[in-house]
Structure formats: C-alpha cells, structure tokens
A and B are shown apart, each in its own frame.
Chain A
C-alpha cells in the first residue's frame, strides 16, 4: 500500500520579501496538500506564485522546493497553469495536440525528439481530460472550459508532483468550473499530486482542500480551511466585513 508522506515539505518559504508587494511571508506546503491561495486583487497572490516558480527574483528570504533551493530539476517536477487561458491570442495558429506537446519540451535535451512514449502520454492526458476529439482543433476555437482542460493537460503531461494554478477559472462557465474542481480533487486524492492554486471560489472547494493561505501583502493566516468560516482574518484580508458562503457540489 502506498502511503502519502505528509512530513515532506515540497514548497517552503521563510521571511520572503519582494518590494512592498510581499512582506515576510513564511509557509509550508507538504506533499499531498491541496492548498488554496486567497486574497484581494493586488494582494500579491500571483506575485507569490511567480516568486515560487523563479519567474521573478525575491529580495529577501528563502524559497525551497522539495527541500532544496529551486533548481532546473525541481522546476521540471512542477506543472504550472498560468492565467494564459484568459489572455489567449485568438489568432495564434496552434492545435490542442501542439499545446499539450509543449508540456514535454522542458524535459527534452536539445537534439531529442518526441518519441512514441511521449505520444502515448499525450493520448493519455487527452483521454483523462476528455478532449481526445479536440486534439486537432485550433485552441482559439474552443470554449473557456475546453481551453482550461487543454492547459491542465499540458501541465499534467510531464507527470508533475506539484500542480500550481493561477486563477484557472477566469472566463470559464459554471459547469466547467464544477468539473474542474472534481478533477483537481481526483488528481490530489488518487494521483497524489500536490495542488496549490489561486482562487476566488473558496466556498466551492472548502470541503476538498486541507490548507488555505490568505495573502494581502503578508500572510494573514495559514488555516485549516474549516477554521476560516468565522475568521476575523477574512475581514482583515479583504478590508471589509467579509464572510464565506459555502456551495457544496
């Protein structure tokens, strides 16, 4: 029987600073965690993710991935879904199959080509995401929900240990959002993928996640999600009298 090693920190920050946007942020994400980052717009959620991924350099503090300083090797174990779904260029001539194939490139050496095994992995994620019929379609012809599944397939094709998603539901219809949360739950529970994602829909997934990071320049709370229902820190986080509405699905 495969046991999850919950003692293993896969993402760790200590006293992280970046300009005035992120101040003294320390937290740990353990292997198998399903964590949400919430906070007001401009509160530093996306910046925090970019710092973790090394997209921007931090000023002070420490970031560790898989217990070590971030490296090329550790980045290759992370699948990242950016806000690109909403920003997608409608004229870009690229097919679903080509987009998913991009997810394999980072692990390829300069002269190695796509193998039969790679193609089988692409077929596997196409099937898992239920988009096998769309593989030759141009990405701009797809709905928001279909594009979302393509971008997640791209992130999953490299068999990552961590999946980081930056507001993946922007421009996606309600039913697709429900399917998306079910998929994340399945990936976390059945494939032991650690998930960290930025969301505004905490109420929908509060029963699924086991950690929530409230960010507004600094880390206001790192709760068990069920504790946040009556938390004063929600008010502090959003600067208004806020409460959480729970939607069970």
Chain B
C-alpha cells in the first residue's frame, strides 16, 4: 500500500499505537478514580511548560516535563489533604496554566507557530528521538503497571481499605499521577494538548460499557485506542485531514455506537 512506502507514516503508526496503548491503560485508572479532567489539566500545564521553554530558550520538552510533574504533585498533595474539591483543583490548574501560556505567547510572537504544533499535535512529524523516548516510556509504564496493577486497582476501588491494609497509598498515588504527567508531556507534541485527554479517557469509557471485570476493561481500552489510531491515520492520510483530530472524532464515533448498543441491549 502507498501509505506504507513513507517512513514518516510508519513512524506515525508506531508512535501512535504506542501512545494509544500507554495513555488508554493509564486512562482506565484515571477514569475509575473519577479524575478524568486530570489529563486535560496536565495537558494545559504541559503547554505552559512548552511556552516557558520557548521563552527561556530551554528545551521545550524538558521544561514541559518538569512543569507537568511538579504541577501533578501539587494537585495530588491538595487532593490527598482535602484542601479543595478535586474537580475545583483541576479547573484552577487548567484555566490558570492556559491563561499564563496565552500571556507568554502574546508577549513574544516569535514562537506562535511552534506552540500551535503542541496545541494540536503533529503525529506525522515524528523523528527517531521521539520513537526512542516513547518506547522507553512505554516500557517503564508497562513494568510499573504490571508490578502495581492490583495495588492501583485496590486504591481506585476503595482507597480507605487499601490504606487500612497497609498499602502505601500516598506513594502509589504520586507514582500513578507522575506516570500520567510524563505520558502527557511526551505525547502533546505528537497528539496535541487539546486531544491527549480524549485518547486517555474515551477508550476507557467505551471499554467500561462492555466489561464485567477490570482486567478485560484495560485490554478493551488498549485495543479501542490502537484501532482508533490506526484507522484515524489511514483516514487522515487518504482524506487529507489532520491526524490527531481524525483519531479523536473516530473515538467519539465508537463512543456513540457503544452508548447506542448498550441502550438497545439493556
């Protein structure tokens, strides 16, 4: 097929499916913890990190990673200590970071176009370094999730009982949110700050409609996300559409079908 003759498309398929697998598996935990807005809030914080990176001539990737990690720890601290409602914390971070990013962008018009790429992502402009970083990240996530799967599940299901049984819920909550923030800061260059939330949350919600257990839900979420990325890249290539937006629209179509199917079935 013509599409496979282009190296950039092969890289897009590889990076896209890896991000889909990582984001959707972490997304399952985020969704069942009723923390779906977390991915959007962290994506906007990541964008602020990128803007500051451009402004200070630091590497946008590193500044984005640093900002997202620190912000995620503050969010988790506030959540654990019941300082504010979880959704209020996320709302403040989301709008606050976006506002700061806009001010930085307006103050310096020289990097507007570059920042625009981070907002919507460019899945077809992936270089070899991106593939290496995403592969490493995928490996770290896979090992961490495999080792702590039951503990993360216990905390998501009944945090109080998990803590009472002696599980270090504080450390594991920080570990999970750190993984989410790293995945987001690495992914926004490719998927876009406005779209990574959908990649994380929608496959999990679709999977939850049809599964009676958590393990299957994670498997379904990964499969749905990967199929959406592959199909989305095909459609975007042949219909000359933006890849990130096409993937999200496909996910929304799957979600609509899943809701209709479930309503009809039950």
A: residues with CB less than 8 A from B are: 50, 53-55, 72, 75-76, 78, 80-82, 84, 89, 91-95, 97-99, 101-103, 105-106, 108, 110-111, 136-138, 141, 154, 158
7 shortest A-B CB distances, which residue pairs? A106-B165, A95-B213, A138-B212, A75-B166, A53-B164, A80-B164, A93-B217
A104, closest chain B residue (CB) = B150
Contact B167 A105 (CB under 8 A): yes
Q: A139 CA to B77 CA in the complex, in Å?
A: 30
Chain A residue numbers with a CB within 8 Å of B160 are 50, 55, 82, 84
Contact B164 A54 (CB under 8 A): yes
Residues of B within 8 A of A (CB-CB), count:
28
The answer to whether B128 has its CB under 8 Å from any CB of chain A is no
Contact A94 B214 (CB under 8 A): yes
Total of A-B residue pairs, C-beta within 8 Å:
87
Considering the complex, which residues of chain B in the window 136-165 have a beta carbon less than 8 Å from any beta carbon of chain A? Answer: 147-148, 150-151, 153-154, 156-158, 160-165
Contact A105 B147 (CB under 8 A): no
Considering the complex, which residues of chain B in the window 201-218 have a beta carbon less than 8 Å from any beta carbon of chain A? Answer: 207-208, 211-217
Contact A76 B166 (CB under 8 A): yes
With known contacts A93-B212, A95-B212, A98-B213, A78–B164 Cβ distance under 8 A: yes
The answer to whether B250 has its CB under 8 Å from any CB of chain A is no
Could you tell me the distance in whole angstroms from the C-beta of A159 to the nearest C-beta in chain B?
13
Could you tell me the distance in whole angstroms from the C-beta of B152 to the nearest C-beta in chain A?
10
The answer to whether B131 has its CB under 8 Å from any CB of chain A is no
Q: A73 CA to B179 CA in the complex, in Å?
A: 29
Could you tell me the distance in whole angstroms from the C-beta of A217 to the nearest C-beta in chain B?
22
Contact A93 B213 (CB under 8 A): yes
Contact A55 B163 (CB under 8 A): yes
Chain B residue numbers with a CB within 8 Å of A99 are 157
B212, closest chain A residue (CB) = A138
Contact B157 A94 (CB under 8 A): yes
Chain B residue numbers with a CB within 8 Å of A53 are 163-164
Which of B148, B157, B165, B212 has the most CB atoms of chain A within a 10 A radius of its CB? B165
Could you tell me the distance in whole angstroms from the C-beta of B56 to the nearest C-beta in chain A?
39
Q: A158 CA to B156 CA in the complex, in Å?
A: 20
Show 30 residue pairs from A and B whose CB-CB distance is below 8 angstroms, ordered by the A residue.
A53-B163, A54-B163, A54-B164, A55-B163, A72-B166, A75-B166, A76-B165, A76-B166, A82-B160, A82-B164, A84-B158, A89-B34, A91-B32, A91-B208, A92-B32, A93-B32, A93-B212, A93-B214, A94-B157, A94-B213, A95-B212, A101-B150, A102-B157, A102-B161, A105-B150, A105-B151, A106-B162, A106-B166, A136-B213, A138-B213
